[in-house]
Chains A and B, each alone.
Chain A
Amino acid sequence: MNLLRSIAKSIPMIVILLVVVELIWTNTLVRSGRDVTATDLSIAKLRAENEDLAQQVASASALTTIAARAKDAGFVSPSKTQFVMMKASTLPVAIRPQ
């Protein structure tokens, strides 16, 4: 009988405690939701930056860009190129000037 009375007396305390726990938990969750939103935004931003950088790399390494830079640097297309096959025994050596 005494046990039941003491339990009954502690019920309000338990209720208050649970309410406090609920409040803290809800508050934490709300903050987590904001964190998730912020993280999502951050992911989207990084993806966009990544896409921009990939685009810049692609532009910089495009043949048209390289050709323009090579031309500016004074390179010209070879008029005629010939490949010569040589065996190891016939490797060319520098000839001493006469």
Chain B
Amino acid sequence: MSRIWFLFVGFLLIFACILVRLFYWQILQGDALRAEASAQYNLTLSLPAIRGTIKSTDGSPLAMNAQASLVYGEPKNIENISVFTKLVAPILHQDEASVSAMLTIPGRVWVPLAHKVDGMVTDALKKMNIKGLGFEPEPKRYYPEASMAAQLLGFVGLDQNGADVGYFGLEGYYDRQLRGRGGSIELQKDVQGSAILVGDTKRIEAEDGRSLTLNVDRTVQNIAEQRLNDGIQKYGAKAGTVTIMDPKTGGVLAMASYPSYDPRDFAAYDNELHKNPIVASSYEPGSTFKVLVMSGAIQENAVKADTKMDENGPVQVGEYAIRTWNDQYHGPITMTEVLEHSSNVGMVFVQRQMGKNNLLKYIHNFGIGVPTGIDLQEESSPELRPDRDWKDIDLATASFGQGIAVTPIQMVRAVAAIANGGWLMEPHVVREITDANGKTISINPKKVRQVMSQATASVMTEMMITAVDKGEAQWAKPVGYRVAGKTGTAQIPVAGHYDPKKTIASFVGFAPADNPKFVMLVTLTEPTSSPWGSETAAPLFFNIARDLFTYYSIPATQ
């Protein structure tokens, strides 16, 4: 009897062991074993999405994809790590010690050595037929026009998982559209690794990134960059920008800035250079701001073009005396002449005529103090002080563009409203977005608000034409063309006071004035040949305008 019980207990123990083992395999290790089994008969292929192309308005690519490779090492297959390192590291421009260190980390079977390696380099490595060295396709960005519009385009870097991601500019703003969505195929394979067609297949199609067609014209961009570089050298400026926009649509035709960087080697440049100063940096606009204040005053009937004021000396605002830029005074002058002479005293008169509330209303209506909504990632806006905090001296200095900061894109958009019958537009760099199937979404021009009437815009245009024809920069103007514009020379605030020797020279305007094809802002930071906008930024503006007249085949009318 005891033997039967002994046998029974023995069987129970055996069954218990079997149950425990089955529990371990099926429940605890079930997922891992299923995955291991699946790996033996399933083949998973990733279908990478191709990043979209960025094209200029004529369809020429500004940023596209090029063949490149991820170069990796497989330590288990490497015969001699020392020899391997000596052969591979110099070709990949890497330090031998760090390559060797990566390959000798225990337990590593796959070591990425270099990302996005050019075809010529991989061809050279492939010819050497080195054991344990492998390659995987890894497309990289290619810029046919080299560093053209670098700060506008942005660049593609890697995120913390090693995946491509766009930073700054268009690459950053439209990253999700450009990136697309990767897909995969999972199917059953035979012993040789070929697909078995009757097996289970799961396919998730990749969705290639969308392509962007810009309002930017590469010829205009090239003109702006070439001329800006020439201007920087000629006038000895530290930095500069050129922004060209179609005033009727808000489409950005060109954005050039100096200094810039090469997007192929973005990591070698200071991070600050990655930001586009036209949308991310602010400056005090100086006298160019006068056209905005004057148009508000005319719209509110506070002054007319022929209203006269007596410019007989400095004007007192509280404890401060406001002077003209050259400390010369012209007696009774009209509002048109206030712009011609760029009179700060005259602008204080205009500001007093229109009052605090109207001045602030137009500053807000012109979009100063808020981002313009342009489709560039790093756009920011300097904040305006709250309306209740504006003191008399703040209002007076703002009337001639000091003590108030704007970004170049805010300034050029505000002046574009004068060129566009008073309508403020939302600036846009991208004109169309096209998906992989060819379906195109057009980005239509967007009107934000009408800041002034058509009549006021016409009066302002005439005043700006006179300011060019009779102002300090008349010598540089192209003969026979009606150009509306205004010079600006703003002092730079440094540690709580204005540096008398450092200026930002600028010129903003549009042409042909009667049917504007472009509105343009030129800024030069700390020009050394002359601090004045009329002697630096204005001639640069007119040089670019001459090229644009030729490019657009615009004839002289006078």
Q: Do A30 and B194 form a contact, CB below 8 Å, given A61-B60, A82-B480, A85-B555?
A: yes
User: Shortest beta-carbon distance, B286 to chain A, in Å?
Assistant: 30
B146 surroundings in chain A (CB, below 8 A): 62, 64
Query: Which residues of the partner chain B approach A85 to less than 8 Å between Cβ atoms?
Result: 555
User: Could you say which interface size class chain A belongs to?
Assistant: 20 to 34
Nearest neighbor of A49 in chain B, beta-carbon distance: B67
Contacts of A29 in B (CB 8 A): 196-198
| Cross-chain contact A52 with B67 (CB below 8 angstroms) | yes
- Whether A33 contacts B145 by the Cβ 8 Å rule is no
The 6 sampled A-B contact pairs (Cβ below 8 Å) are: A37-B195, A55-B67, A58-B60, A61-B60, A63-B218, A81-B550
Q: Is the CB of B550 within 8 A of A51?
A: no
Which B residue's beta carbon lies closest to that of A35? B194
Does chain B have a CB within 8 A of A92?
A: no
Q: Is A54 an interface residue (CB 8 A)?
A: yes
**A36 proximity list for chain B (CB < 8 A):** 194-195, 197
> Residue of A at shortest CB range from B479?
A82
Contact size range, B: 20 to 34
Kindly provide the distance from the CB of A83 to the nearest chain B CB, expressed in whole angstroms: 4
Cβ of A21 under 8 Å from chain B: no
Closest Cβ of chain A: how far from B483's Cβ, in Å? 15
Query: Which residue among B144, B192, B198 has the maximum number of chain A CB atoms within 10 Å of its CB?
Result: B144
> Nearest-CB distance from A43 to chain B (Å)?
11
Question: Contact partner of A62 among B66, B145, B556, CB < 8 A?
Answer: B145
Q: Which of B144, B554, B555, B556 sits near A59, CB closer than 8 Å?
A: B144
Selected from A34, A37, A78, the residue in CB contact (under 8 A) with B550 is A78
Closest Cβ neighbor of A59 among chain B residues: B144
Instruction: Name the distance in Å between A88's Cβ and chain B's nearest Cβ.
Output: 16
The digit string for B151-189, where 1 denotes a CB below 8 A from any CB of A, is 000000000000000000000000000000000000001
Is there an interface contact between B60 and A55, defined as CB atoms closer than 8 Å? no
CB-CB contacts below 8 Å: B178-232 with A: 189-190, 192-198, 218-219, 222
Q: Provide the main secondary structure of the chain A interface.
A: helix
Partner of A48, one of B60, B67, B144, B480: B67
B329 adjacent to chain A (CB < 8 Å)? no
* 16 additional A-B residue pairs with CB within 8 Å, beyond A64-B146, A83-B555: A29-B196, A33-B189, A36-B197, A37-B194, A51-B65, A54-B64, A55-B67, A58-B64, A58-B142, A58-B144, A59-B144, A63-B219, A78-B550, A81-B546, A83-B549, A83-B554
Whether, in the assembled complex, B137 has its beta carbon less than 8 Å from a beta carbon of chain A, the answer is: yes
Q: How far is the CB of A34 from chain B (nearest CB, A)?
A: 5
Interface residue A42 (Cβ < 8 Å from any Cβ of B): no
Q: Is B553 an interface residue (CB 8 A)?
A: yes
Residues of B within 8 A of A63 (CB): 145, 148, 218-219, 222
Instruction: Tell yes or no: A84 within 8 A of B by CB.
Output: yes
B296 at the interface (CB under 8 A from A): no
In the complex, the answer to whether A34 meets B194 with C-beta atoms within 8 Å is: yes
- Say which residue of A30, A48, A62 sits within 8 Å of B137 (CB atoms): A48
Query: Closest approach, in angstroms, between the C-beta of B126 and any C-beta of chain A?
Result: 14
Asked if B61 lies at the interface with its beta carbon under 8 angstroms from chain A, I say yes
Who on chain A is nearest to B66 by CB? A55
In the bound complex, residues from chain A placing their C-beta under 8 Å from that of B480 are 82
Nearest CB of chain B from residue A73's CB, rounded to whole Å = 18
Q: Mark B24-48, 1 if CB is under 8 A from A, else 0.
A: 0000000000000000000000000
The CA-CA distance from A48 to B148 in the complex, in Å, is 26
Q: Closest approach, in angstroms, between the C-beta of A37 and any C-beta of chain B?
A: 5
Cα(A82)–Cα(B546), bound, Å: 9
CA distance A33 to B193 in the complex (A): 9
> What residues on B are CB-neighbors of A34 within 8 Å?
192, 194
Chain B residues lying within 8 Å of A61, measured Cβ to Cβ, are 60, 144
Q: How far, in Å, is A24 (CB) from chain B's closest CB?
A: 14
> Which residues of A lie under 8 Å from residue B546 when comparing CB positions?
80-81
